[in-house]
Amino acid sequence: MNPHRKSYVAKPDDTYSQRDWWVVDADGIPLGRLASVIATKVRGKHKPTFTPHMDTGDFVVVVNASKTKLTGRKLEQKKYYRHSAYPGGLKTVTYDKLMESKPEFAVLKAVKGMLPKNRLGRKLLTKVKVYAGPDHPHTSQQPKPLELRT
């Protein structure tokens, strides 16, 4: 091992100048593949300056979230659970109903599951902007298109 080669460790002051904005069209893309690409971009794992304990990632804008695809019979069989903290307060919603009412939430939940389960993961999730339709208010950030294969 060469003692002159050092690993790069990002510092808080030099990581914020390199943020990019990406826009992803989710039309026809499977939800899991979409979420894994978004999580990689938000975490910053595609950059040579990636540091596991720092936020070195980019912002991602997802449009057409209502047109994401779930393969197999997941629309009828996959369920979202929530509990009101009262006895008998378990609520269950299938993903076809969830995609009709809140498609943004389904995409955010999939991305959240692929991020770290700590305060860094909660901070990274704020850099994901999801919209059900084709329009988004982030044109002034000049997001670059991120092409995904279907």
Sequence-ordered strand ranges (E) for 74-113: 79-83, 90-94
Per-residue pLDDT, 2: 61
Per-residue pLDDT, 131: 97
Write down all domains in the chain, each with its CATH number in brackets: 18-70+102-145 (3.90.1180.10)
Per-residue pLDDT, 77: 96
Is there a contact between 58 and 14 (Cβ–Cβ < 8 Å)? no
Q: What is the 3-state secondary structure (H, E, C) of 94-136?
A: EHHHHHHHCHHHHHHHHHHCCCCCCHHHHHHHCCEEECCCCCC
Output the tens digit of pLDDT for each of the chain's 150 residues: 566 777 778 887 765 567 899 999 999 999 999 999 999 999 999 988 888 999 989 999 999 999 999 999 999 999 999 999 999 999 999 999 999 999 999 999 999 999 999 999 999 999 999 999 999 999 999 999 999 876
pTM: 0.90
Per-residue pLDDT, 1: 53
